[in-house]
Amino acid sequence: MSLWGKAIISGIVIEGILFSLLCASGWGPCGPGSPVGFVLMLAHFPATMLALPVSGLDLPDWIMMPLLFALACIWWILISYAFLVTRGRK
């Protein structure tokens, strides 16, 4: 399997786990309901910044969460690829 294939699989799995933990940690009226939720929110910060230009397009709310998930997957895929490339050097 190529490095990109491994990076795609690991990026989607990492984001799936983080997204599940983020949803399970609970949200209060002003943000995350626990310290774990805050740390997970920080892990999603780069994807949130990537989604900011799209937020001004007046898209329905049900589109924004899958879009954020997709952008976060892309972010983790790139990080996984960088890790795999540097790990393979000798």
pLDDT tens track for 52-63:
888 788 888 788
**4/50: higher pLDDT:** 4
DSSP three-state, residue 28: strand
- Other Cβ atoms closer than 10 A to 60: 6
**Sole residue written with tokens 């599940």:** 20
pLDDT score recorded for residue 79: 92
pLDDT score recorded for residue 45: 84
pLDDT score recorded for residue 44: 81
pLDDT score recorded for residue 6: 92
pLDDT score recorded for residue 55: 77
Mean pLDDT along residues 12-37 = 80
Strand partners, 28: 31
Helices (H), 2-60: 3-24, 35-43, 45-55
**26/29: higher pLDDT:** 26
pLDDT score recorded for residue 29: 65
Rounded-to-integer distance, Cα 40 and Cα 14, Å: 12
